[in-house]
Amino acid sequence: MQQVAINGYGTIGKRVADAVRQQPDMEVLGVAKTRPNFEAETAIDKGFPLYAAIEEREELFAEAGLEIAGPVEDLVAEADVVVDATPSGIGAQNKELYEEHDTPALYQGGEDAELTDVSFNARSNFEDAVDADHVRVVSCNTTGLSRVIAPLREAYGVEKVRATLVRRGGDPGQSDRGPINDILPNPVTIPSHHGPDVETIFPDLDIDTLGMKVPATLMHMHSLNVTLEEDVDASEVRELFADESRLFLIPERMDIDGSGTLKEYALDAGRPRGDIWENCIWEESVSTVGRDLYLFQGIHQESDVVPENVDAIRAVTGSADAAESIETTNETLGIGL
């Protein structure tokens, strides 16, 4: 049984903690937080031992009536692996702590690729992370792009990827983010940084990306054009995608017209927090013109990296191979809409 520490219990960390708890081969040893907010209270209610990420703030938890199990150092020392889900840049500051205790660590997509030995996507390069000490689970957008690119490369070869990422302004809880009434080229420079990030998974890939930000919180939307190395019929690509466990092909009959109805569907289906771990590809949008493939996909930024973190835990601890891990994660979470 792998003992997993979660440092940073926010949007990603709390979801990873719940997912780890559902695995037959792992346990949540504890979660670390910087302050006693609603998420700290929920962690206690769920029975996760709560550790103080910053020692001087420990008394704030006591004042709020929340029992602290100890400092984060104790948690890291005892864990087999730590999942760092702190805000961008903090993971880099925490690396020394993990190294001091010789605890392998996973970081999130907000960290620089150079921080770690490997950037990780379970479908694309699980083996690269086996027994690695420092692994970065790539961002929600890079995860979403990699899951589509990997099967296309294997089946047909990919000459070039062009993607426009229409990004949500902030997560639903981020009241300080925006825009609230605008459409921003973001980043305004082209190509955007997302393409190079995907190249951390596929170093020889030719990809250009453009980014925008819009007043939405629910999901990102990708408009994708992939030039394949051979002429392919759209129906073949749809069949290829249908075999991929983390790609959900939205059938026309469902009458799902956007991220609002997608989230509504996820809530109706009983998904925790309305999470959608799969890429949501509109089946009708999967089209080909010669060697060019086009599609639209929705990416639930708060949750698509969650199963990837679970698989990365198995990779760094060498406790399962890619196929076994992905199958276990999918089954336990209920992936496959």
| Active-site annotation, residues | 140
Q: Binding residue per annotation — 314?
A: no
Shortest distance, position 165 Cβ to ligand NAD, whole Å:
13
Q: How many CA atoms lie within 13 A of 324 on its CB side?
A: 10
Count the helix, strand and coil residues of the chain and give each as a percent rounded to the nearest 5: 40, 25, 35
Q: Is 275 in the site for ligand NAD (CB under 6 A)?
A: no
Q: Which of 133, 171, 244, 292 binds ligand NAD (CB under 6 A)?
A: 171
SS (H, E, C) 252-282: HHHCCCCHHHHHHHHHHCCCHHHCCCCEEEE
Measured from each CB, the residue nearest to ligand NAD is 10
- The full length of the chain comes to 337
Helix (H, G, I), strand (E, B) or coil at 211: strand
Q: Is 201 in the site for ligand NAD (CB under 6 A)?
A: no
Q: Which of 4, 5, 6, 8 binds ligand NAD (CB under 6 A)?
A: 8
Strands 158-168 and 134-137: unpaired
Alpha-carbon distance of 98 to 105, in angstroms, equals 7
Q: Which amino acid is at 173?
A: G
Q: Is 9 in the site for ligand NAD (CB under 6 A)?
A: yes
Q: Is 301 in the site for ligand NAD (CB under 6 A)?
A: yes
Choices 158-166, 223-231, 240-248, 301-309 (CB under 6 A): range interacting with ligand NAD: 301-309
Q: Is 146 in the site for ligand NAD (CB under 6 A)?
A: no
Q: Is 207 in the site for ligand NAD (CB under 6 A)?
A: no
Choices 4-12, 59-67, 118-126, 177-185 (CB under 6 A): range interacting with ligand NAD: 4-12
Tokens of 62: 């006591």
Q: How many CA atoms lie within 13 A of 296 on its CB side?
A: 15
Q: Tokens 């890429």 appear where? A: 279
Q: Which amino acid is at 287?
A: S
Shortest distance, position 54 Cβ to ligand NAD, whole Å:
6
Interacting residues with ligand NAD between 102 and 141 (CB under 6 A): 108-111, 139-140
CA distances from 49 to 13, 121, 209, 279 (A): 14, 29, 41, 32
Build a one-symbol-per-residue string for 74-103: x at contacts with ligand NAD by CB under 6 A, - elsewhere: -----------xxxx-x-------------
Q: Is 302 in the site for ligand NAD (CB under 6 A)?
A: yes
Taking the least distance from each CB to ligand NAD, the nearer of 20 and 90 is 90
Q: Binding residue per annotation — 11?
A: yes
Q: How many residues contact ligand NAD, by CB under 6 A?
A: 28
Q: Binding residue per annotation — 70?
A: no
Q: Is 6 in the site for ligand NAD (CB under 6 A)?
A: no
Taking the mean position of all CA atoms in its chain, how far away is CA 134? 16
Alpha-carbon distance of 331 to 139, in angstroms, equals 23
Q: Is 259 in the site for ligand NAD (CB under 6 A)?
A: no
Q: Classify residue 201 by its DSSP letter.
A: T
Q: Do residues 129 and 135 make contact, with C-beta atoms less than 8 angstroms apart? A: yes
Q: Is 53 in the site for ligand NAD (CB under 6 A)?
A: yes
List contacts with ligand NAD (CB under 6 A). Answer: 7-13, 32-35, 39, 53, 85-88, 90, 108-111, 139-140, 171, 301-302, 305
